[in-house]
A = this chain, B = another copy of it.
Amino acid sequence: MAKIKTRDRILDTSLALFNSVGEPNVTTLLISDEMDISPGNLYYHFKSKGDIVEELFGHFEEEMLDLLAVPEDVDISLDQQSFFLHLLFEAVARYRFIYQDLVNILSRYDQLQVRFKRLLKKKTAAFRVICESFRRQEKMDIEAEQLDSLCEQLTLTACYWSSFDTLSHLDNREKVDPGRGVYQMMHLMIPYLAPDEQAHARLASRDYL
Protein backbone atom coordinates (compact mmCIF):
# COMPACT_ATOMS: atom_id res chain seq x y z
CA MET A 1 0.00 0.00 0.00
CA ALA A 2 1.61 3.14 -1.26
CA LYS A 3 1.75 6.02 1.21
CA ILE A 4 -0.21 9.15 0.46
CA LYS A 5 1.80 11.80 -1.29
CA THR A 6 2.78 14.82 0.79
CA ARG A 7 1.06 17.12 -1.63
CA ASP A 8 -2.24 15.36 -1.11
CA ARG A 9 -1.75 15.21 2.62
CA ILE A 10 -1.31 18.97 2.61
CA LEU A 11 -4.63 19.35 0.83
CA ASP A 12 -6.39 16.95 3.19
CA THR A 13 -4.95 18.50 6.31
CA SER A 14 -5.66 22.02 5.12
CA LEU A 15 -9.27 21.17 4.32
CA ALA A 16 -9.77 19.63 7.74
CA LEU A 17 -8.21 22.61 9.50
CA PHE A 18 -10.03 25.17 7.38
CA ASN A 19 -13.34 23.49 8.14
CA SER A 20 -12.71 23.18 11.82
CA VAL A 21 -11.24 26.56 12.75
CA GLY A 22 -11.90 28.68 9.67
CA GLU A 23 -9.53 29.42 6.80
CA PRO A 24 -8.44 32.87 8.06
CA ASN A 25 -7.34 31.34 11.36
CA VAL A 26 -5.20 28.66 9.73
CA THR A 27 -1.58 29.58 9.08
CA THR A 28 0.81 27.68 6.87
CA LEU A 29 2.76 26.95 10.03
CA LEU A 30 -0.27 25.35 11.64
CA ILE A 31 -0.79 23.14 8.62
CA SER A 32 2.82 21.96 8.51
CA ASP A 33 2.86 21.51 12.28
CA GLU A 34 -0.25 19.37 12.15
CA MET A 35 1.39 17.18 9.52
CA ASP A 36 4.79 17.09 11.21
CA ILE A 37 6.55 18.52 8.21
CA SER A 38 8.49 21.76 7.92
CA PRO A 39 6.95 24.96 6.58
CA GLY A 40 9.63 24.93 3.90
CA ASN A 41 8.40 21.57 2.73
CA LEU A 42 4.87 22.90 2.44
CA TYR A 43 6.13 25.73 0.27
CA TYR A 44 7.98 23.22 -1.90
CA HIS A 45 4.62 21.75 -2.86
CA PHE A 46 2.55 24.93 -2.99
CA LYS A 47 3.93 28.32 -3.81
CA SER A 48 1.43 30.04 -1.50
CA LYS A 49 -1.38 29.45 0.94
CA GLY A 50 -3.73 30.92 -1.65
CA ASP A 51 -2.79 28.12 -4.02
CA ILE A 52 -3.98 25.56 -1.49
CA VAL A 53 -7.26 27.40 -1.08
CA GLU A 54 -7.69 27.63 -4.82
CA GLU A 55 -6.95 23.99 -5.44
CA LEU A 56 -9.45 22.98 -2.76
CA PHE A 57 -11.98 25.32 -4.28
CA GLY A 58 -11.29 23.67 -7.63
CA HIS A 59 -12.16 20.26 -6.18
CA PHE A 60 -15.35 21.66 -4.73
CA GLU A 61 -16.21 23.32 -8.02
CA GLU A 62 -15.70 20.10 -9.92
CA GLU A 63 -17.92 18.13 -7.56
CA MET A 64 -20.62 20.76 -7.72
CA LEU A 65 -20.61 21.13 -11.49
CA ASP A 66 -20.88 17.38 -11.74
CA LEU A 67 -23.81 17.34 -9.36
CA LEU A 68 -25.58 20.32 -10.87
CA ALA A 69 -25.64 18.89 -14.37
CA VAL A 70 -29.32 18.08 -13.94
CA PRO A 71 -30.80 16.82 -17.22
CA GLU A 72 -33.64 18.95 -18.52
CA ASP A 73 -36.86 17.52 -19.95
CA VAL A 74 -36.65 14.49 -17.70
CA ASP A 75 -39.29 13.51 -15.20
CA ILE A 76 -37.77 13.86 -11.77
CA SER A 77 -39.35 12.08 -8.84
CA LEU A 78 -39.62 13.55 -5.36
CA ASP A 79 -37.29 10.88 -4.07
CA GLN A 80 -34.70 11.60 -6.70
CA GLN A 81 -34.94 15.22 -5.74
CA SER A 82 -34.39 14.66 -2.05
CA PHE A 83 -31.47 12.40 -2.87
CA PHE A 84 -30.05 15.20 -4.99
CA LEU A 85 -30.47 17.63 -2.09
CA HIS A 86 -28.75 15.19 0.17
CA LEU A 87 -25.71 14.97 -2.10
CA LEU A 88 -25.69 18.73 -2.47
CA PHE A 89 -25.62 19.36 1.26
CA GLU A 90 -22.95 16.75 1.74
CA ALA A 91 -20.71 18.43 -0.78
CA VAL A 92 -21.27 21.82 0.81
CA ALA A 93 -20.58 20.37 4.25
CA ARG A 94 -17.30 18.83 3.06
CA TYR A 95 -16.12 22.24 1.90
CA ARG A 96 -17.96 24.32 4.45
CA PHE A 97 -14.93 26.52 5.12
CA ILE A 98 -15.75 28.32 1.87
CA TYR A 99 -19.19 29.25 3.10
CA GLN A 100 -18.30 30.05 6.65
CA ASP A 101 -16.09 32.92 5.63
CA LEU A 102 -17.50 33.42 2.19
CA VAL A 103 -17.28 37.18 1.73
CA ASN A 104 -13.87 37.26 3.33
CA ILE A 105 -12.47 34.47 1.16
CA LEU A 106 -13.98 35.79 -2.05
CA SER A 107 -12.59 39.24 -1.35
CA ARG A 108 -9.07 37.97 -0.73
CA TYR A 109 -8.93 35.50 -3.59
CA ASP A 110 -10.79 37.49 -6.14
CA GLN A 111 -10.39 35.04 -9.01
CA LEU A 112 -12.73 32.81 -7.03
CA GLN A 113 -15.51 35.39 -7.14
CA VAL A 114 -16.53 34.82 -10.71
CA ARG A 115 -16.30 31.06 -10.32
CA PHE A 116 -18.41 31.10 -7.19
CA LYS A 117 -21.04 33.29 -8.78
CA ARG A 118 -21.19 30.89 -11.70
CA LEU A 119 -21.85 28.05 -9.29
CA LEU A 120 -24.63 30.07 -7.67
CA LYS A 121 -26.27 30.65 -11.04
CA LYS A 122 -26.03 26.98 -11.89
CA LYS A 123 -27.54 26.09 -8.55
CA THR A 124 -30.53 28.36 -9.07
CA ALA A 125 -30.90 27.00 -12.60
CA ALA A 126 -30.86 23.42 -11.33
CA PHE A 127 -33.63 24.16 -8.84
CA ARG A 128 -35.61 25.74 -11.61
CA VAL A 129 -35.21 22.67 -13.80
CA ILE A 130 -36.41 20.46 -10.96
CA CYS A 131 -39.42 22.65 -10.22
CA GLU A 132 -40.33 22.80 -13.87
CA SER A 133 -40.12 19.06 -14.13
CA PHE A 134 -42.52 18.83 -11.19
CA ARG A 135 -44.77 21.31 -12.87
CA ARG A 136 -44.87 19.34 -16.09
CA GLN A 137 -45.78 16.26 -14.12
CA GLU A 138 -48.49 18.30 -12.39
CA LYS A 139 -46.88 17.61 -9.08
CA MET A 140 -46.35 21.29 -8.48
CA ASP A 141 -48.55 24.34 -8.91
CA ILE A 142 -46.72 27.62 -8.77
CA GLU A 143 -46.80 30.97 -10.51
CA ALA A 144 -43.84 32.55 -12.24
CA GLU A 145 -43.22 35.18 -9.60
CA GLN A 146 -43.32 32.69 -6.77
CA LEU A 147 -41.10 30.32 -8.70
CA ASP A 148 -38.39 32.95 -9.04
CA SER A 149 -38.58 33.72 -5.38
CA LEU A 150 -38.56 30.04 -4.44
CA CYS A 151 -35.51 29.21 -6.55
CA GLU A 152 -33.58 32.10 -5.03
CA GLN A 153 -34.65 31.00 -1.59
CA LEU A 154 -33.51 27.45 -2.28
CA THR A 155 -30.14 28.74 -3.44
CA LEU A 156 -29.74 30.93 -0.38
CA THR A 157 -30.63 28.05 1.89
CA ALA A 158 -28.31 25.64 0.12
CA CYS A 159 -25.50 28.12 0.69
CA TYR A 160 -26.06 29.22 4.22
CA TRP A 161 -27.92 26.50 6.01
CA SER A 162 -24.83 24.77 7.25
CA SER A 163 -23.32 28.01 8.56
CA PHE A 164 -26.58 28.93 10.19
CA ASP A 165 -26.80 25.51 11.73
CA THR A 166 -23.22 25.70 12.93
CA LEU A 167 -24.08 28.86 14.85
CA SER A 168 -26.26 26.78 17.10
CA HIS A 169 -23.27 24.64 18.02
CA LEU A 170 -20.30 26.93 17.50
CA ASP A 171 -18.42 25.06 20.21
CA ASN A 172 -17.62 22.12 17.93
CA ARG A 173 -17.28 22.96 14.30
CA GLU A 174 -16.27 19.43 13.47
CA LYS A 175 -19.51 17.63 12.79
CA VAL A 176 -22.20 19.00 10.58
CA ASP A 177 -25.43 17.18 9.95
CA PRO A 178 -26.67 17.82 6.41
CA GLY A 179 -30.05 16.33 7.27
CA ARG A 180 -31.72 19.41 8.71
CA GLY A 181 -30.78 21.32 5.58
CA VAL A 182 -32.51 18.83 3.32
CA TYR A 183 -35.54 18.96 5.60
CA GLN A 184 -35.65 22.73 5.40
CA MET A 185 -35.30 22.74 1.62
CA MET A 186 -38.16 20.27 1.23
CA HIS A 187 -40.35 22.38 3.47
CA LEU A 188 -39.73 25.35 1.21
CA MET A 189 -41.23 23.44 -1.69
CA ILE A 190 -44.06 21.68 0.11
CA PRO A 191 -46.59 24.56 -0.07
CA TYR A 192 -46.44 24.44 -3.84
CA LEU A 193 -46.77 20.68 -4.24
CA ALA A 194 -49.97 18.94 -5.22
CA PRO A 195 -51.86 17.43 -2.24
CA ASP A 196 -50.66 13.86 -2.74
CA GLU A 197 -47.08 14.90 -3.22
CA GLN A 198 -47.34 17.17 -0.24
CA ALA A 199 -48.24 14.30 2.03
CA HIS A 200 -45.45 12.21 0.58
CA ALA A 201 -42.91 15.01 0.96
CA ARG A 202 -43.89 15.67 4.56
CA LEU A 203 -43.35 12.05 5.47
CA ALA A 204 -40.12 11.80 3.52
CA SER A 205 -38.77 15.01 5.02
CA ARG A 206 -39.05 13.59 8.53
CA ASP A 207 -36.37 11.05 7.71
CA TYR A 208 -33.96 13.91 7.56
CA LEU A 209 -34.57 15.22 11.04
For A198-209 the 0/1 string (1 means CB < 8 A from B) is 000010000000
When chains A and B are docked, how far (Å) is the Cα of A168 from the Cα of B156? 12
A25 to chain B, nearest CB (A): 7
A161 nearest CB neighbor, chain B only: B156
Q: Which residues of B contact A187 (CB under 8 A)?
A: 146, 149-150, 153
Task: Establish whether residues A25 and B107, one from each chain, have CB atoms under 8 Å apart when the complex forms.
Answer: yes
Given contacts A156-B164, A164-B156, A190-B146, contact A22 B104 (CB under 8 A): yes
Q: Which residues of B contact A145 (CB under 8 A)?
A: 202
Q: Say if the beta carbon of A166 comes within 8 Å of chain B.
A: yes
Given contacts A160-B164, A161-B156, contact A103 B103 (CB under 8 A): no
When chains A and B are docked, how far (Å) is the Cα of A101 from the Cα of B103? 7
A142 nearest CB neighbor, chain B only: B191
Task: Establish whether residues A103 and B163, one from each chain, have CB atoms under 8 Å apart when the complex forms.
Answer: yes
Q: Which residues of B contact A89 (CB under 8 A)?
A: none
Q: Say if the beta carbon of A100 comes within 8 Å of chain B.
A: yes
Q: Say if the beta carbon of A59 comes within 8 Å of chain B.
A: no
Q: Say if the beta carbon of A95 comes within 8 Å of chain B.
A: no
**8 Å CB contacts to B: which residues of A18-70?**
21-22, 24-25
Given contacts A146-B190, A164-B159, A190-B146, contact A170 B104 (CB under 8 A): no
When chains A and B are docked, how far (Å) is the Cα of A24 from the Cα of B23? 12
Task: Establish whether residues A188 and B100, one from each chain, have CB atoms under 8 Å apart when the complex forms.
Answer: no
**8 Å CB contacts to B: which residues of A172-192?**
183-184, 187-188, 190-192
Chain A residues with a Cβ under 8 A of chain B:
21-22, 24-25, 100-104, 106-108, 113, 116-117, 120, 145-146, 149-150, 152-153, 155-157, 159-161, 163-164, 166-168, 170, 183-184, 187-188, 190-192, 202
5 example contacts (A-B, Cβ-Cβ < 8 A) are as follows A24-B104, A107-B170, A153-B187, A155-B164, A191-B192
- With A117-B170, A150-B187, A153-B184 given, can you name 4 additional A-B contacts, CB distance below 8 Å? A25-B104, A102-B167, A106-B170, A145-B202
